[in-house]
Structure 1
Amino acid sequence: MRVVVIGSGIVGTSVAYECAKAGAKVVLLEAGRIAGGTSTVSFAWTNATGKRPRAYFALNVAGMRAHLELKRDFPDAPWFFQSGGFEWRTTPAGIAAFEEDVRQISEWGYGVEWVDRETVARMEPDVTATGEGPIAYFAEEGWVDPALYSAWLIRAATSRWGAEVFTGARVVAVETQNGRVVGVRTADGTQIAADHVVNCTGGLSGLELGDAPALPLASTVGVLAFTPPVALTLRSHVHADDLDMRPDGAGRIMIHKVSVDDTLSEPQTLATDGPEATALLEAARAVLTGLEMVPIEAIRSTVRPIPADGLTCAGEMPGISGYSVAVTHSGATIAPQLGKVVADEVVRGRTHAEMESFRPSRFFATGNSGTPRRAVA
C-alpha cells in the first residue's frame, strides 16, 4: 500500500512514522521545511485539562499515554519532558470554574492534586503563586519539542522502513478517478501515485486541493515569546489565569497569554519591544522571579488549526475513498495517538470506534454524486 502524507508537522510525522511502521510505502510531502509551520510555534503542552466533551478528554489522555508508549521505540526520547505543572486562578469566577474543572477531571481519573504555596516554593523556588486561590499540580503533564520529535520520527521512518521525504513539495491537488484517490499533484506539476492520501496540513486544510474539499475551520492566532537564556531553575510548566510559561531548553523561557492572542486577527511579524512582547513580559515577571532585567529575545505568531466545532477532525472524508484528514488544536498531546489511529484504519483496516465523534463527515452533506458538497456544521 502506498500512502502519501501531506505536511511534516508533529501530526504529519506521527502519521508517516506509524504508517511506515505498519508496512505501508510512505511518501511524506512538505511545502517548506520539516516542522516549519505551527508545530514549532506551539506551547506544546501535553495535557487533558479543560478538554470537553468527555470523548475529547479521553482522546487527549490517550495521547498522553501514547507519548509514553513511543518511548519503547525511542528509549531516550529527547523531545519529551514529563515535567509536571502548576495551575491556578486569581479571580472569583476563574477560581470557581477551575475548581469545577479539577473536580470533574479528578472524577474521570485524571492525575491532579491540590497543593499549598509552600509546596510550590519548595519545588519551584523561582515561581510566585499570585492571588489567594487554590493551586493544582498535574504530575503527569509535560511538554514536547516538536522539531526534535519530527526529526527523530522521520529519521526512523526513512532508515528503518524506507519512507521517502520531500521538502519544497507543495501539494496543489488531490486527484481522483471514479470517486477514489489515485494520487496528488505538486506545484511543479509532479504527479505522485497513492492508494491513500492523508492531509495533515493543519490550518491549510481549510483550502481545497483539487478534488478534495476544504475542511471548515475556526482557527485562531497564537503568539509566543522567548527570553534569552536566564539563570533560573524552572522545570515545570506554569499556568496563572491566561498566562502560560515553561522552560524551552538552553535556559530560555517560553511565554504565552491568551489575551495577547486575542489582539491579533492574523499572523504577523512582531517586534521584540512591541506591545505584545511588553504585555507578555510584564505578566511573566509577576509570576517568575529573575525576569526583571531580562528582555524578549524573540516573538512569533502563527495560525492555530481548529476545526469549526473546536474538536479534533480525523478520518476518511465522505464521498472520496482513500482521502483522510488529521487536524487538531491538540497536536502536541494527541499526535502519537492520531498516528496510531490513522495507521490502524488506513493500513491495517482496523476501525477505532472511539473516533466516531471526530470524523469529518460531521461537517458535510453528500450530494447525489457522492462527493462532499457543503459544510453543515
Structure 2
Amino acid sequence: FDLGYRYDKVKHKPRYSGYPEVPRGIITGLWVPYPYNPYDGIHGYYTPYGEENYQQNLKFLLRQKEYQSGSYALGLNLDPSEWTRIQLKASRGFRAPTSDEAYMTFKHPDFSIRPNIDLEAEIARTKEIAFTLYQEKSRITFNVFKTNYKKFIDLDFLGNLQVVDQQVPYPFYQNVNRDNAKVHGFEINAHLELGDVAEYLDGFRLGYKYSRQKGKMSCANNGSKSNDPSAGCGKGEEVPMNAIQPPTSVYNIGYSTPGDKYGIDLFITDVAAKKREDTYNMYWKSQIDRIDPKTGGHRPADVVNSKPVTDNTRGWRSGDYTVVDVIAYAKPHKNFNFGLGVYNLTNAKYITWDSARSIRAFGTVNMINQATGAGIGRFYAPRRNFRFNWEITF
C-alpha cells in the first residue's frame, strides 16, 4: 500500500516600476469599463479620463493572488501469484497558474497576450489500473487510465483586436480556465529478455510499447470572450485537446554483451495519422464563409490544404509514418561512456503532430501558404542524421 500527500501554497506578489509601460490598449477598460472614443477629445487613451481608467485597471492587474491546496496519491499493489501483479492508483494533483499565465501583457502584431488575473488553480484527478506479468528480467504491463481536470488552464484565441495607436488589428490570446477536461488512454509496455527463454540467447532482448489516448475539453471558460458568440466554440460544447498525440507503437530489438559493456539497439517507431475529428482549430470562426464585421461585406471561406474551411477541425495534420533508429554504446571503463546513433535510418520524410499543430493561421511566425502548403518543408522532421557522444564521469 502506498500513500503520499503534499500541500502547496503559492502566492504571487506583483510589483510594477512603471517601465516598460503596460500597453494601454490591452488593459484600459478590461476590468473597469471605459467608453473609449478617440474622436470626442475626452474618452481617448491619453486623455485625463483615459489615464484615470488606465490606473484603475492597473490596480486590478497588480492585485496579489494566493493559491493553496493539497495533493495526494493512493496506491494498492496486489500479487495474486509469483508472476502477476495488479496495481490500483488514485491521485489528485494541483497546479497553480504561473505568474506569466496570470499577469503577462504583451503587444506585438504577430502575437499579443491579454492578462487574466481571474485564473484559478487547475485540479487533476487520475484513476489508473495496471496488470503486469513478469518473470525474472522479462515483463509485460497493460495500463488503463483516466484523468479529469477542473479549471483546466489553456491558451485561448480571442481574435484579431484593435489596439491603441495601431490601424491593423493584432491577434490576441489569453490564458483561461476551461470548466473541465478529460483524458483517457491505454498503454502496453513489454520487455522480453530472450535469455529467459533459452540460455544461448542470453543478451538479446525484444521490446514493445504502445500508447493510445483521447482527450476533450469544454469550451466554457472565464476568459474575456467567454460570452462572445463569435468565439471559437460555445459554452455547451466540447472540443478535442490538440496536445494529445496520435497512437504510437515502438518496436525494439537489441543485444548487450555480458557485463553490459557493449550493446546495440534497433528501434522502429510507427505513428498513426492524426485524425481530423481529433483536432480543433481555434481560428475557424475567422476562416469560414462569413460577413466581415468591419465592412459588412461577404467574405468567402479561406482555403486550407486545398479545401475551404467549413468546421472547427484543422486542415494541416500529420500523416502516418515509420522511423527506424539504430543506437550503439560502449562502456570500456566505468568512467567512460561512448554512444553512436543513426536516426531516421531509412531517410523518411515526415512531419510530427507537434510540428503540424504549431502552424499558425495569423501573424508571421510559423506561417505557411495555408491553401497550397508552400513553406511547410521547414516543419518536417530531420532526414537521416547522426549523433556521437562521449562521456567521462568521475
Give the TM bin, normalised by the shorter chain.
under 0.3
The structure whose residues are more often strand, as a share, is 2
Q: Which has the higher contact order (CA 8 A, sep 6+)?
A: 1
Determine which structure has more spread, i.e. the larger CA radius of gyration: 2
Please identify which structure carries the higher helix content. Answer: 1
What TM-score do the two structures reach when normalised by structure 1?
A: 0.23
